[in-house]
Structure 1
């Protein structure tokens, strides 16, 4: 029972850390819906893109079966590094610019049984999913098979909740503006917390060694910024 609760809570935290910023992009997408670009295209596209990100992250799960948990737990330093880097080097690109660069024309023809608009949204999801892969690989590597399936179930459930929430928020402009303005400031801390959990939960590093590793990461990231 404790393992189930841990898997669910881990899935919730991991999803929030890697996808909550997507609500800004979803708000922009839902605000552009019309007769040719419908909300269902966004829902389907989000799930398609997310499935691709999960598949690309499966190397962590398979690696966890081959390599001991103590070693794979070191991959938890990746989300910590991403969180630190996000604090030191905040992204300059706005969500509007990102969507503008990646969102293809809804009229573009893509031969498929799924609407081309859904593939367009999926492409945006994948393009914005590098952080997802960086977090999911160490997460899957440190998870047992049963926990993995629980986490995946939580992911897909919360993805639907996220899409529905964004859809509803398009009609609540004040709340949407608050989320757009402040939500990105929380993500680095969630990522670092998730990474710390992975490292300590697998016993990869002691608390003191983890703290020393974080200090080294800060120094390295600052040096990289100075170049």
Structure 2
């Protein structure tokens, strides 16, 4: 069951490595940024697990029709990041940009929001698996998933610190992160027929 859980996590979260690499690159060299990103990743993924486990037991916090609208979270965060990058490029970054530069990247809540929104489709996959595996099986899946979150964070940080990748992300990360977040948001909205798209 551990192998199945590890495989399921990998298949449903492969896109998170790209997002994590971009986030780690954004906070590169800033004190505490890696910790904030990991905390945010764990918060977001724990929320995904909580919703999936509750739904497997029959509780539904989010109706299935609401899941596509989770795409609004990365879309808004991507638009915000694009606006900030544009303002910084024009020289008008202001106090918010200076605070972010000192802070070193996204806040844990921003990371958690992106993680949860990007994992909204994972909830639909996890619910039947959890329901079929019983309480003990759910515990195994949850434990493996939480260990794999740390592995994913390490992988994202590893990729962000490879010299070739780090140079690309340092030069283009301020553009790539908003584009990736906006694309994820739009894919979630369009894929789920939100707003009749």
TM-score relative to the length of structure 2: 0.58
C-alpha distance in 2, partners of 1:148/1:132? Answer: 15
Where does residue 33 of structure 2 map in the other structure?
38
Equivalent residue for 2:156, pick from 166, 171, 175? 166
Q: Structure 1 residues 151-160 or 129-138, which shifts more?
A: 129-138
Deviation at 1:101, TM superposition (A): 3.5
Matched, 1:14 2:8: yes
Change over 3 Å in CA distance of 1:118–1:145 after alignment to 2: same
Contact 1:42/1:121, CA 8 A, preserved across alignment:
yes
Larger radius of gyration: 1
Change over 3 Å in CA distance of 1:17–1:102 after alignment to 2: farther
Deviation at 1:102, TM superposition (A): 6.8
Matched, 1:101 2:79: yes
Deviations 1:107-131 (A, max 9, x none): 58xxxxxxx8111111111121112
Equivalent residue for 1:49, pick from 24, 33, 44? 44
Deviation at 1:100, TM superposition (A): 2.2
Matches within 5 A, 1:2-151: 7-33=1-27, 35=30, 38-63=33-58, 100-101=78-79, 107=99, 117-151=107-141
Deviation at 1:63, TM superposition (A): 3.6
Deviation at 1:55, TM superposition (A): 1.1
- Runs of 5+ unmatched residues, structure 2: 60-73, 85-95, 101-105, 169-190, 192-196
C-alpha distance in 2, partners of 1:167/1:22? Answer: 12
- Runs of 5+ unmatched residues, structure 1: 1-6, 65-95, 109-115, 178-220, 222-226
Deviations 1:117-167 (A, max 9, x none): 111111111121112111111111111211111111100111101101110
Where does residue 92 of structure 1 map in the other structure?
none
Where does residue 186 of structure 2 map in the other structure?
none
Specify the SS of the correspondent of 1:35: coil
Matches within 5 A, 1:189-208: none
